[in-house]
Structure 1
């Protein structure tokens, strides 16, 4: 018997033994003995029926289905089905192979092409949000808002964006073949090298004599220190207003986002979480902050930490949020190893809320809704950016 079959047999025996033992203990604890009769409580009998239903269905499939089915596939399907029944897109059961791929995302030996990206809302393909200066992606001619259709020949339209991003990664010096589309142009084929890119997550510049822009591509790496440098830049340039751009910022560290909010929010609440026990954990900032008119730019690919950031600014009345409805991923997640299969499970363990008690998981609704045209944008064609400049001009004229 090979190792795989032996492993499956051991799992089945272990599960069966645990099941029988569990039933006995549960049966003993929830039943009453009266004379020679055993009286089952209603709840215990119903629970036994539920577990027996799983066993019955397995037997029916094995007896009736038109072809043989691997028992391991039935076990995996049952485990995945349990998590999928939560109707939570962010809770996932991973098989051993899937879990290995998931953990590779933090493997420092694997590198990308120097981009951040998110789902393209129309087709589900991968839209480039940032192309880092000096990266292989920039050298190959890629730019923001380009859409990746295939990666090494595989259509990424049906994949979640995290899986697609992981396909871009590989050993330094290797290359990846892409099919890319810019706006309505015909798709083109590119081969892009992979390399370790020393990316600056926070960039800043003066857009006008009075208004500065701070763009945050990710809440990772040295972003907090870079944001502090950006604030010092505003002071040195005597900026009268600032727009913080978190469009396309899909992920990152919420604690880092709160540390950055500490630079621009007055003392008080930045966000809080609530778990199933209704336990509330608050994330706060102190009293020392840089006060000037503020606008935050968001879009449909502003998610997670970026939504906490924008929601805090909006919820505290500190500034205006401009753009489109954000992605809607405001969850705290726990990752647990599965002890027997080598797989794992990622579960939502709490939800984030804004200071004005709105669930981040529903997305942040902008104060001023503005959509951008398709394709690559310029300073002049970026309608959201232009609206931000108009709004900041009005706030500056009003004295903040």
Structure 2
């Protein structure tokens, strides 16, 4: 599945530079010198600059109600960001920035789901956490959120804004209307928000020889957690590993590099290139994981999941099983702004060790396996283990690799 993101709003301001903490706008053809100003580059047309100031002046002075100038300027900032036409470039209001940072720490107040924008620009549930309000209310993978507390959100192109509307204070109610494709109908779900403490990594022994690690997101401490889980499984007798990256949307770039460093041999892990062709390489040291490894992927495995999967595949350190991944090969940078706002924007493309860009293409599995259609909208944890064809194939492959390794001793 490829996600074609919708864009909105045309902004006439092409380039701006903000000085100090406050904002003030003047007509650049004025001789006045205010304390704060917006400065336009010489490449901006004179007409756009005049129109910018004229529209601002008309709204401030002639609109039928009084308007807060800061509200207009924040709208101009949002317009600039939306005019880029990149779904991964987003202006975060203070509340949105707070929400984003909470997601990186593994704790927030909400309903306990991860979501993505589908081909039609609808917020779609990718995964549902155990013991969450969403699971208790009967939410399903694939549910498409169309209303939040009676507000239509189908025209909102910024996924983070929809997420912000769903979150709130603990013990408060939120009512979602979702479209459920499997029944071709709408379902209303009422939930009480609570603090969600997310376990982004879980592990267990599948049998005497095989360890299993499910990684739901690359959060800020996940690399060391991964190493700890691997060592725990080895101590329990694991001779081979299954790493489950299905439904993992990505996360912290530095963490996936550290994880890859633990798995692959010395060499290039990934590199990025910016608009000027500047290249930044991430390399692994001399250590590597020396045991049979299978990585499970699907169409919801994205970004950091694809970096790790591609490196493992290209170095021959494991077998990829499942479906072709999402195909997100862009790097975003988060810049804090004044007043606790922030800007997330795309700064580079990333490439696999062999120089392949997976953006819009994805990483293909070595062995393609699909689960039954009836489980299409299930979370990974909801699929009965005996009916998870991708996992069963992974167990067979790891068992074969373990036997092969022991035979070659």
Q: TM-score range by the shorter chain?
A: 0.7 to 0.9
Q: Cα deviation per residue 1:218-254 (whole Å; 9 max; x = unaligned)?
A: 1115423431232023212333332211222224211
From 402, 405, 409, the counterpart of 1:399 = 405
Cα 1:357–1:61 shift into 2, 3 Å: same
Cα 1:116–1:100 shift into 2, 3 Å: closer
Match of 1:12 in 2: 25
Q: Distance in 2 between matches of 1:19 and 1:333?
A: 36
Task: Note the 1:201-350 alignment, pairs <5 A.
Answer: 201-322=200-321, 323-335=323-335, 337=337, 345-350=343-348
Cα 1:147–1:295 shift into 2, 3 Å: farther
Q: Distance in 2 between matches of 1:123 and 1:200?
A: 28
1:105 aligns with 2:109: no
**Unaligned stretches of 5+ residues in structure 2:** 1-22, 34-40, 57-61
Match of 2:48 in 1: 54
Cα 1:110–1:326 shift into 2, 3 Å: closer
The number of aligned residues is 361
Q: Cα deviation per residue 1:270-296 (whole Å; 9 max; x = unaligned)?
A: 222222343322223333333222222
From 351, 375, 389, the counterpart of 2:395 = 389
**Unaligned stretches of 5+ residues in structure 1:** 1-9, 21-43
Q: Cα deviation per residue 1:307-359 (whole Å; 9 max; x = unaligned)?
A: 222222123222222322324143132426379xx975433222222222222
Distance apart, 1:363 and its partner CA: 4.7
From 133, 137, 160, the counterpart of 1:140 = 137
Cα 1:74–1:16 shift into 2, 3 Å: farther
Report SS of the residue matched to 2:48. helix
Distance apart, 1:82 and its partner CA: 5.0
Q: Distance in 1 between matches of 2:27 and 2:342?
A: 18
Length-normalised TM-score, structure 2? 0.71
Q: Distance in 1 between matches of 2:230 and 2:279?
A: 31
Distance apart, 1:90 and its partner CA: 1.9
CA contact under 8 A between 2:295 and 2:309: conserved in structure 1?
yes
Match of 2:352 in 1: 354
CA contact under 8 A between 1:276 and 1:350: conserved in structure 2?
yes
Distance apart, 1:259 and its partner CA: 2.2
Match of 2:15 in 1: none
Q: Distance in 2 between matches of 1:305 and 1:16?
A: 48
Q: Distance in 1 between matches of 2:32 and 2:325?
A: 47
Match of 2:115 in 1: 117
Q: Distance in 1 between matches of 2:94 and 2:27?
A: 22
Q: Distance in 2 between matches of 1:317 and 1:127?
A: 33
Q: Cα deviation per residue 1:141-161 (whole Å; 9 max; x = unaligned)?
A: 445555544332234444443
Distance apart, 1:215 and its partner CA: 0.8
CA contact under 8 A between 1:331 and 1:349: conserved in structure 2?
yes
Cα 1:120–1:83 shift into 2, 3 Å: closer
Distance apart, 1:77 and its partner CA: 7.6
Match of 2:198 in 1: 199
From 148, 151, 154, the counterpart of 2:151 = 154
Match of 2:377 in 1: 375
Cα 1:61–1:156 shift into 2, 3 Å: closer
Larger Rg: 1
Cα 1:129–1:119 shift into 2, 3 Å: farther
